[in-house]
Chains A and B, each alone.
Chain A
Amino acid sequence: SQTIHQWPATLVQPVGSPLSLECTVEGTSNPNLYWYRQAAGRGLQLLFYSIGIDQISSEVPQNLSASRPQDRQFILSSKKLLLSDSGFYLCAWSLSQSTYEQYFGPGTRLTVT
C-alpha cells in the first residue's frame, strides 16, 4: 500500500531563516505531487505541483520554491522566511491519471516568529 510522509511535524523558525520541508511517498511510481498551505484551518492554497522530475509548476509567486530530486520526493524551501509564511503545509500525491483523488500527508505546522 502507498504511504506519504512529511517532516518535520512542527517547526518554529525566526523571520529571515531558511526553510526546508520534506515529503516522500512510498509504494507508487511517478506520482503527481503537490504542496498546499492552509491558513487558520480553512481553505487550501496550492503552492506547487509536479507531474514528474524537473516538471514543477508554481501557482503563487512568493518566496517559496519546490524541488523534486527523486521521483517520490518533494521538497519545499525558502531562503528567508516571512511572518506571513506561517501556516499548515500539506503535501499530497495522486496517480498520474487525472481521474484520481489526492492523498495527503499529515502536514507540517510552521510558525514563523
Chain B
Amino acid sequence: AQSVAQPEDQVNVAEGNPLTVKCTYSVSGNPYLFWYVQYPNRGLQFLLKYITGDNLVKGSYGFEAEFNKSQTSFHLKKPSALVSDSALYFCAVRERTNAGKSTFGDGTTLTVKP
C-alpha cells in the first residue's frame, strides 16, 4: 500500500528566505511523486513531479524538489520565498503498478511574511 506524510501542518518563512516543505512516502518499489499547490477556494495546481532520472526536479514558479530514495523523502524547496507563495501544498505518491490512483498527504500551509 502507498502512503505519504507531510509532518508539518504549517511552515512560516520570511520573504526572501529559502523555504522547505517536507514530504516522506511509503510504497512498494519505486514511486512516482508529485507536488501540488492550492490557493483558497480553488482546485489544486500541479507544480512538479519525479518519475525517473535526476533526483532534483524543477517545476513551476521556481520550485524544485529532491528525491531521496534512502530517506524516502521528496521535499519541496525554493531558494527565495515570495509572499505570493503563501498557499496549501500537497505531496502525492503513486506506485508504478497502480493504474492511476495517487495518495495525497494532508497538506502543509505555507505562510510567507513580508
Contact = CB atoms under 8 A, between A and B. Distances in A.
Interface of B: 32, 34, 36, 40-46, 49, 51, 88, 90, 92, 94, 96, 98-107
Interface residues of A, number: 25
Contacts of B105: 43
Nearest to A9: B41
Interface in A37-59: 41-44, 46, 49, 51, 57, 59
A103 interface: yes
Contacts of B32: 98-99
Give the most central of A43, A59, A101, A107: most B CB within 10 Å: A101
Interface of A: 32, 41-44, 46, 49, 51, 57, 59, 88, 90, 92, 94, 96, 98-99, 101-107, 109
A107 B96 contact: no
Nearest to B40: A41
B101 A102 contact: no
B100 A51 contact: yes
30 contacts: A41-B88, A42-B88, A42-B107, A43-B105, A43-B106, A43-B107, A44-B44, A46-B101, A46-B103, A51-B99, A51-B100, A90-B44, A92-B43, A92-B44, A96-B100, A98-B98, A98-B99, A99-B49, A101-B49, A102-B36, A102-B44, A102-B46, A102-B92, A104-B36, A104-B45, A106-B42, A106-B43, A107-B41, A107-B42, A107-B43
